[in-house]
Chains A and B, each alone.
Chain A
Amino acid sequence: MTTTLETEVLIIGGGVTGAGVMRDLALRGIHCVLIDKVDLCAGASGGNHGLLHSGARYVSTDVDAAIECRQENERLKRLAPQCIEATGGLFVGVEGDDVGFAENFPGLCRRAAISCDELTVAEARRLEPQLSDRLVKAYRVPDATVDPFHLALANVDHARLTNGSIYRSHTELLRFDIADSEVRAAVCRDSRTHAPLVIRARQFVNAGGAWAMNIARLAGCRDVDLLYAKGTLLVNHDRMTRHVVNRLRPPGDGDILVPGGTVSLLGTTSTRVENLDQIAPTIEEVDRIVREGAAMIPALAGARYTRAFSRVRPLLQGAGNTSDRAASRGFALMDHASQGLANFCTVTGGKLTTFRLMAEKAADLVAARLGKQQPGTTATVPLPIGDAGRWTEPGAAPRHWYKLNNPADMILCECEMVPQSAVNQIVATAPGEAAPAMSPPGRPKGEFRSAQHAGCLMSLEAISLRSRIGKGPCQGSFCGIRVASYLYDTGYYSDAAGLAYMRDFFDERFKGQRGVIWGAQAAQMELAEALHCGLLGLDALEAD
C-alpha cells in the first residue's frame, strides 16, 4: 500500500541548504517535508572542512562571494554560536610563495571589508607553535569553524518545533507527477525497504546540491548546468592548531588546515569528474595534500591520519571561466519558469558559509509563489540551543558524562567518550529517523519499546551522524560493536538487523580509511579486521 503525505512544500535534499530552507519556511508558517535519499549532510555539506569563511579566501578570485561570506560569517556567529568555534584564521606564506600576492592581500581584504591584521612571523609562531620556521608572512582574519551536522540537525529540529514540519531520511525520489505546468507530487520510495511513498505539495524545492541537475531533469528542466569538482580531505588524528590556517596564495591544493574538536581537517584537491558515483580519494591526492600541508605545518608530514574522504562540489557553469577554482562559488536560484513549470525551483552551488542566505532567497521565491507576504526571519532569529545536535560537538558527551559521575552510565564509544545516556537520547529524540517506535521523552532512559519495522530503527550510521560515535581513531571498530550490543541489550535491536547495521557501518568507516593505511592507523586497521572478520565473522554475514 502506498503511503501519501500532504504538505505545502517538499524540499528535496537534506544538506544544510535544504535544512535551511525548511527552517526558513517553517518560520514563515509554511509547512514542509524535507527528504533525503540517505540522511542529513550526506553530500558536500558533510564532506567539507567545516570552515566558516571570513571571506578572505575569495578576495582574489570572487569579491562578491567574499562579501557574502563576511556577512554570513558575522550573522552565524551571532545566531548559531552553538555550532561555531570562533577560532580565528591565519593566512601564512612560506619561502617561495608569491610575494606579490602576499603584498596585495590586505588591500583585497579591505575592498571586501574583511578585517585583516598583519602579524610578525614571531607573533604568528607564538600563536601557533606548529607553523613552519620557513614562514615569511602572516595575516589574521576572522575565519571560524562550523559543525555542519549540528547546523543541519538544529535547523530541522527548529522547523519541527515551529510548525510540525517533517524530515524523512532514506527517502529516494523516483519521479515527479506533472500536470498543467505544475508538479503535483513526488513519487518516492524508502531507500532501504523500497516501500513506496507519494508526497503531494504545492511547491517543490530542489536542494540536491551536486545531484540538483539530475533532480531537475526528473522534472524535465534542462537549465541546471553543473560542473562536478571532486575534492579530497584528510582527517588528522590530532588537533594541530587553534586557528584555521590558510596558505597565503591563490586557492590551490592542500592549503587549508581546519581544527575541529580534537582533530584537524586538511585539504582539499579539485579534480573534474563526470559522474557522482564511486567517488574515492586516490593515493596521489593524499600524498599531495600531506606534502602541501607540511609546507605550512611540518608536523603534518609525520602525523597520524584516520580518514580520507572525497565529495563532489557542484560548480555553476559560468561563461568564460577557465578553471574550476575560479568557477563561481556563488549560488544559483532558478525558478524554472522558462522550463514551463510554475511551482518548482532549484537552489544549488554556494558554500556552507552562505547556506542561510541561499535558503532565504529560495524561501522568498517559494513564499511569493504561495502568496505569503511575510518576510523571512532567519537573519535575526537565533537558532535555538536544544538537544537535537548537541552530541555532534566533540567533548560534549564526555563533559556530560563526567559531570553526571554515574558509574552505571557506561561509555560505549571510548574514543570520543559517548556514554549510554547520550545514545539513549539520540535514539529517542534526535531528528530524522522515524521516531514513533521510541520511548517518548520522560520515560526512563534505556527503556525502548521494541520497534515494529526494521525500517524504523535508527541504524549505527544514523546514530554516528548524530553524535561523535565512530569519529575517533578507532573509526568505529569498537564502538560499532558496543553500541549495537547495547541496543540489543535494551531490546531496541532484536533480529539480524543490528548485525547488518554493524556491517554497513564498518564498511562505510572502512572506505574512509583506505587512503590512509600506514603507521599507527595500519595497526588500528589490523585490529579492526581481527574484530570484525575474525571475531564477529561479519564478512560472512548473508547479504540481505
Chain B
Amino acid sequence: MAQTAIPTLNFKQAALTLLPPGANFDACLTCGLCSSGCPASGLENMDPRKFIRMAMLGMDEELSTTPWIWCCTLCKRCEYVCPMKIDVSKLVFLARGNWPNDRKPAGIARSCHLTQLGASTSAMGMPPGDFVMIVDDVLEEVRATQPGFAHLQAPMDKHGAHFFVNQNSREPMSEPDEMVPLWKILDLVGADWTYSSKGWAAENFCMFTGDESAWRNVIQQRVDAVNDLGCQVWLNTECGHSYYSMWEGVTRFGLDAHFRMDSLITYYAQWIREGKLPINARWNTQGIKFTVQDPCMIVRKSYGDSIAEDMRFVVRTLVGEDNFVDMQPNRSANYCCGGGGGFLQAGMTDQRRAYGKRKFDQIAATGAAYVLTPCHNCHSQIDDIGHHYGGHYGVVHFWTLMCLSLGILGENERHYLGPDLRALIE
C-alpha cells in the first residue's frame, strides 16, 4: 500500500507565530551551543542549529520529511542553553504533528490510539475494571502476607480525598508489585489519597505524536476525573512526561482544573522535612554509590532547578552525603537520556542507543552502582543503554530504596535490587 505523502510545512512562517519576537529564528547567533549540547546531534545528519538554518534557507521539504524529528526527544536543552532562548522543540513538535498517522512511528501512534480508547486513558489499553481488580488483588495479597500491613489501603474513587494519585500503566500491567512500596509510603505519612478508576493512567504518548487535539482529549479526561472526585492535588507518580503533559496541557488548552498539580518528588522532600518519612542512610554500611537522573520533563521543562534540589535532598538523606555522586552536567542542564519524546516506542533502536551514549558516559564517569530515576522512560532507557554498552550499574525507583531504608520492602518488591543491595537486607 502506498504511503501517505508528508505535506510540506513552511517552517520560517510557522516560527513567526510559534516563537516570540527576540527568540525567533532571526535571533540565532549560530553559536552552536544547542547542537554541541544535544545528544541527537549527528543522528540522521541533523542537529538543532541545522534545523534552524535549514528553515531560514527554505529547505522546508527536507525538514518536513526528516526522521530526525523522532530522534529529538523534545527535551528543550537547546532552548535552555541558547543565549537567545530559541525553542527549536516547538517546530519539531509541529513537524511531528504534520506527519500523516500512517507514517508516524507505529509504537507511538499505537500508544496514543490505545490511550484514547477507554476511560482509563491507559496507553497499554488497560480498562478501568482490570485496574480496580489488580489493585484489589495485590492489596489483598500484601495484607495477607506482609506482617504489619494488614491494614494497608489503596483507596479507589474516594470522593474528597486530598491526593489524586495517578499510576503509570506499566505497573498494573507488567509488574504490579511495584505499586506496593508507594502505598506503604503514603500509608506511613498518613496521606489522604485515592486512585481513580477513570483517568488514572499517567502516560500520554499523544503528546509525542504532535497531535494537539489527541493530547488535549487525554488531558481533558484526566482533569474531569480529578474534578469529579473533588481532590485538591493531582499527585504525579515517579514519571516524567506524565507530569509535563498534564501541567503544560492544562495551560496550553485552557482547561478548568480545580486542583493543583504536583510531583511526588516534592512531597518526598516535604515529608522528610516534616519528620513524617523517617528515612536515613544507616542501611548503606557498604558505602554503595548512587547518582540521580534529572528527568527533563519535571526539571528543565516544568519545575526548574527547585525540584532538582528537592531530589538531591531526598537522595542525600536516603543514601548518605558521601555516597551521592552527581552527574556532570546536572539539574536543568542535564542531558536527556534518550528515553523521552517517545523514542523508546519509536522503533529506532540504533539511533536511540547512539543518543543514549552520552548519558551512559555521564553515568559511567560517576562510578555509581545505581541510578535513581524518578521517571519510567528514563528508567527503561538507562537500563537498556547500561546493558548495551556493558555498564555495571542498576536502575532503581525512589520508592524502592525508601522502603529498603525503612525496612519495609517486601520480597516481591526487590526486582531492581542488585546482589549488593539484597545482601544488606536478606
Give me the interface of A with B, judged by CB distance under 8 Å.
237-238, 261-262, 302-304, 394-395, 398-399, 402, 405-407, 411, 414-417, 472-474, 478, 520, 523-524, 527
Contacts and interface: CB of A to CB of B under 8 A. Distances in A.
A523 B54 CA distance: 22
A75 B376 CA distance: 66
Given A262-B56, A262-B58, A523-B84, A472 B30 contact: yes
Q: How large is the interface on B (under 10, 10 to 19, 20 to 34, 35 or more residues)?
A: 20 to 34
B76 interface: no
- Please classify the interface of chain A as helix (H, G, I), strand (E, B), loop, or mixed, using the class held by over half of its residues: loop
Interface in B208-234: none
A520 B29 contact: yes
A520 B30 contact: no
Interface stretch (B42-50, B188-196, B251-259): B42-50
Contacts, number: 66
A414 B26 contact: no
A411 B57 contact: no
A440 to B, nearest CB: 30
Nearest to B28: A473
A474 B29 contact: yes
Nearest to B29: A524
B30 A474 contact: yes
Contacts of A402: 45, 54, 59, 62
- Please classify the interface of chain B as helix (H, G, I), strand (E, B), loop, or mixed, using the class held by over half of its residues: loop
B394 interface: no
Contact of B54 (A398, A472, A474, A478): A398
B59 A415 contact: no
B26 A395 contact: no
Contacts of B150: none
Contacts of A524: 29
A395 B30 contact: no
Contact of B30 (A238, A398, A478): A478
Q: Which 6 A-B pairs have the closest CB atoms?
A: A520-B27, A474-B30, A415-B30, A414-B30, A238-B26, A395-B57
A400 to B, nearest CB: 12
Contacts of B26: 237-238, 303-304, 473, 520
Contacts of A303: 26
Contacts of B62: 402
A411 B57 CA distance: 15
B347 interface: no
A473 B30 contact: yes
Given A414-B53, A417-B53, A523 B59 contact: no
Given A405-B45, A407-B45, A414-B49, A478 B57 contact: no
A542 B29 CA distance: 29
Interface in B282-330: none
6 contacts: A238-B26, A262-B57, A395-B59, A402-B45, A414-B50, A523-B29
Nearest to A237: B26
A411 B26 CA distance: 20
Contact of B27 (A304, A405, A415): A304
Given A402-B45, A473-B26, A473-B28, 10 more contacts: A238-B56, A262-B56, A405-B45, A407-B45, A411-B50, A417-B57, A473-B30, A474-B29, A478-B31, A520-B84
Contacts of A474: 29-31
B87 to A, nearest CB: 16
A411 B52 CA distance: 14
Contacts of B59: 395, 398-399, 402
Contact of B29 (A302, A398, A417, A473): A473
Contacts of A472: 30, 53
B204 to A, nearest CB: 33
Interface in B3-62: 21-22, 26-32, 42, 45, 49-50, 53-54, 56-59, 62
